[in-house]
């Protein structure tokens, strides 16, 4: 049972209503996570702005979804795994094997695998990556700008993972459960 309330887009007013209308126009629905974030229009707006900015970055939508899966698995966030598996498969058109591999930090190409491994290291080391970790990702062909975008994607997904853990957001996508366990 959810611990924070998902607002009803039909009865919500003010800034949250404006944001919900924008989300509805783009997605055709307002997912429960965003409905729950709507309790704080500042949070919802910040999430949408950062998500939109990163979506226009050089890494691309597919890599962004794969990073979301790697981070979601690292943080055992069933809501995010469910949402990003659905988005990856249905909107970005990524095959199931690629989506599943991303959760473990694996990819068919070396650059994407380096990105996913770096994302998982960022989570596991709480951002305290080593010089060797940076050299590995640079050796795989990432620019410093792309490294910054990976960090941005990880930060955005940690926000949503922690939000959904705290809220116990009701999953409104086909459920995908994490393999990892958090102590």
pLDDT single digits (tens) 50-78: 999 999 999 999 999 999 999 999 999 99
Query: What are the tens digits of pLDDT across the range 5-51?
Result: 999 999 999 999 999 999 999 889 999 999 999 999 999 999 999 99
* pLDDT over threshold 70, residue 182: no
Query: What are the tens digits of pLDDT across the range 136-171?
Result: 999 999 999 999 999 999 999 999 999 999 999 999
Nearest Cα neighbor of 77 from 183, 174, 5, 157 is: 157
Q: Would you call 13 exposed, middle or buried from its count of C-beta atoms within 10 A (0-12, 13-18, 19+)? A: exposed
Nearest Cα neighbor of 56 from 159, 152, 168, 162 is: 152
Q: Where are the domains of the chain?
A: 14-55, 60-167
The reported pLDDT for the residue numbered 72 is: 98
Domain 60-167 top-level CATH class: mainly alpha
Q: Quick one: tokens of 68?
A: 């979301």
């Amino acid at each position: 049972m959810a611990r924070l309330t998902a607002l009803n887009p039909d009865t919500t007013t003010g800034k949250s209503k404006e944001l919900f209308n924008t989300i509805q126009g783009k997605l055709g629905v307002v997912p429960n996570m965003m409905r729950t974030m709507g309790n704080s229009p500042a949070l919802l707006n910040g999430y949408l702005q950062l998500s939109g900015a990163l979506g226009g970055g050089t890494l691309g939508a597919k890599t962004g979804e794969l990073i979301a899966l790697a981070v979601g698995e690292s943080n055992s966030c069933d809501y995010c795994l469910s949402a990003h598996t659905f988005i990856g498969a249905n909107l970005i058109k990524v095959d199931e094997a690629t989506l599943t591999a991303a959760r473990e930090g694996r990819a068919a190409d070396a650059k994407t695998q380096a990105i996913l491994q770096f994302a998982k290291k960022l989570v596991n080391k709480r951002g305290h990556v080593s010089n060797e970790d940076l050299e590995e990702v640079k050796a795989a062909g990432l620019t410093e700008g792309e490294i910054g975008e990976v960090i941005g994607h990880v930060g955005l997904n940690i926000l949503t993972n922690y939000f959904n853990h705290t809220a116990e957001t009701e999953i409104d996508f086909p459920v995908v459960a994490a393999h990892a366990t958090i102590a």
